[in-house]
Amino acid sequence: MDKRNGYRRHSGAGKVIAAVLLILVLLCGAAWFVLFRINQFSLSVQLLGDKETTQEYGRPYQDPGVVVSMRGSLFWKKGFRPKHAKLKVTGKVDENHLGKYTLSYTASMLHWHGSTQRSVQVVDTQCPVITLEEDIQGQTHPGGKYQEPGYKAWDNCDGDITDRVVRKEERGKITYAVVDSSGNPATAEREIPYYDPQPPVISLEGGETYAITVGTFYEDPGYHAMDDVDGDLTGQVTVEGEVNWLQPGVYPVVYTVSDAYQNVATVTRNVEVVAQPRPEKTWPQEKTIYLTFDDGPGPYTKQLLDVLDAYGVKATFFVTDSGYDSVMKEIVNRGHSIGIHTVSHKYDEIYASPEAYFADLLGMQDIIYRNTGVKTTLMRFPGGSSNLVSRKSCEGIMTVLSEAVQDAGFQYFDWNVDSDDAGRARKAEEVFDNVVEGVSKGRVSAVLQHDIHGYSVEAVEKILKWGQENGYTFRPLEQNSPGFHHGINN
């Protein structure tokens, strides 16, 4: 074999291999170039921890750090951590100064770069501390000013803030309050060791003895309580005791108050409920008729007054608030007796309670006084003292009222002759017959009629003629007239 031919053959094969390898290298390079171009790698910096965070004033700041990653758009989307990336951090957190600080993180590798930032707010959330000096005084005397032992306020950020403390002295204690520049509050309290042997003083307006008449609603005249240390204690006074304004007697009302040192003061007011003396009743010697008219004045009252004038007779009118105010005045001007009946004549309201009845009674008395100038004490219970209708509203009320009104200075009148003009009698003749029948049974009679009924008023003239012809005297009721009291049924 020709050696030269063999060398040539080997030389040709080597060139082929070299060419193939070169082609492969070029293809790989081209592949990597295309891969990097298409995959679009990027270098990112990801914060560990929060992007915005707070740092307590005065405490060392520990940065949570970052993670540097290389990511592709097609491959390695989750990224990988490059070993040769360089990280640079700029900015610094000053833990000893309040404020907002920015930390910048920048990573680089070859021609790739990435960055991010973190915001750190240095804050002060610690409340100041108030320190109270020991109280070496021990006590202060009544009326004396408490001597402040001293106090200090310190804040971890602001330092000494004693001059910002607000001091408030109240009854039995002192409150200290302060707020630092970050708005953190602090409070402290000190009890004041008062020495106060003096009890408060209670003053009673109206005196320690106080009198009212039966039927007068009791209202406390008033009181004041003062203490040499605590000042005005009126609002802390307790009042015990009830006054029965319907029953004569002496009722103690006790006023009690204590100061901050537990000194107790007690004062008693004795309220005397006084019964008015009752007039002595006088029965006429001659045959007498008391004509009485309830529930008016009404549209027939003036006609009735004219008839009475014509015969020179005086009667008694137990009036209501019926709207005929001017007629009330005329009743008085013509010399007749005027008495209280009721404002409303509503049984369920009037007899709901003793308080309700007296409100009605006194209200009607005032109406009469305003229209006539007469403050009458003559009265008649709606339904009479023997009524049963009051049981529906208040059990036993008539037993109480029948005594209470007399103790209050009123004279109540019932009747012993009923014309029945509010019942079955609907004609003047029937009214006349009922009156004559009733009057004929006794020497002294109180006749019940109602001047709101025309037929009852029409019967009056005939009654007057009959009475005068049969020797009767007609009289108006007065304070000492007989009351003709019924038996109490409630």
Give 110-160 pLDDT, tens digit per residue.
888 989 999 999 999 999 999 999 876 555 555 556 778 899 999 999 999
Instruction: Say which CATH class 201-274 falls into.
Output: mainly beta
Residue 20 confidence (pLDDT)? 74
Instruction: Say which CATH class 129-191 falls into.
Output: mainly beta
Provide the b/e sequence for 195-217 (b: ≥16 CB within 10 Å). Answer: ebeebbebebeeeeebebebbbe
- Give dist(CA 362, CA 390) in Å, integer: 19
pLDDT in tens, 329-375: 999 999 999 999 999 999 999 999 999 999 999 999 999 999 999 99
HSE (side-chain half, CA atoms, 13 Å) at 62: 3
For the chain, the distance separating the N- and C-terminal CA atoms, rounded to the nearest angstrom, is 163
- Give dist(CA 246, CA 243) in Å, integer: 9
**Paired strand residues for 140:** 194
Residue 303 φ/ψ, nearest 5 degrees: -60, -45
Beta strands in 236-381 (DSSP E): 238-240, 249-258, 264-274, 288-294, 316-320, 337-342, 378-379
pLDDT in tens, 418-427: 999 999 999 9
Q: Is the pLDDT of residue 11 over 50?
A: yes
pLDDT in tens, 266-319: 999 999 999 999 999 999 999 999 999 999 999 999 999 999 999 999 999 999
Q: Is the pLDDT of residue 163 over 70?
A: yes
- Rounded to an integer, the average pLDDT of 211-237 is 94
Q: Is the pLDDT of residue 462 over 70?
A: yes
Q: Is the pLDDT of residue 22 over 60?
A: yes
Beta strands in 25-65 (DSSP E): 42-47, 52-56
Residue 72 confidence (pLDDT)? 78
Q: Which CATH homologous superfamily contains domain 288-474?
A: Glycoside hydrolase/deacetylase (3.20.20.370)
Residue 95 confidence (pLDDT)? 92
Tell which residue, 384, 350, 353, has the closest CA to residue 364. 350
Mean pLDDT of the chain: 91
Q: Is the pLDDT of residue 1 over 50?
A: no
Q: Is the pLDDT of residue 485 over 90?
A: yes
What's the pTM value of the predicted model, to 2 decimals? Answer: 0.61
Residue 17 confidence (pLDDT)? 78
CATH 3.20.20.370 residue ranges for the chain = 288-474
Compare 390 and 140 and report the one with higher pLDDT.
390
- Rounded to an integer, the average pLDDT of 51-69 is 93
Residue 140 confidence (pLDDT)? 55
Q: Report the percent of the chain where pLDDT is more than 70.
A: 91
Per CATH, domain 42-123 is 3.40.50.20: no
Provide the b/e sequence for 11-37 (b: ≥16 CB within 10 Å). Answer: eeeeeeeeeeeeeeeeeeeeeeeeeee
- Rounded to an integer, the average pLDDT of 168-185 is 89
Angle at 419 between CA 415 and CA 422, to 5 degrees: 100
Contacts of 157 (CB under 8 A, 6+ apart): 57, 58, 98, 124, 126, 180, 181, 182
HSE (side-chain half, CA atoms, 13 Å) at 135: 15
Residue 378 confidence (pLDDT)? 98
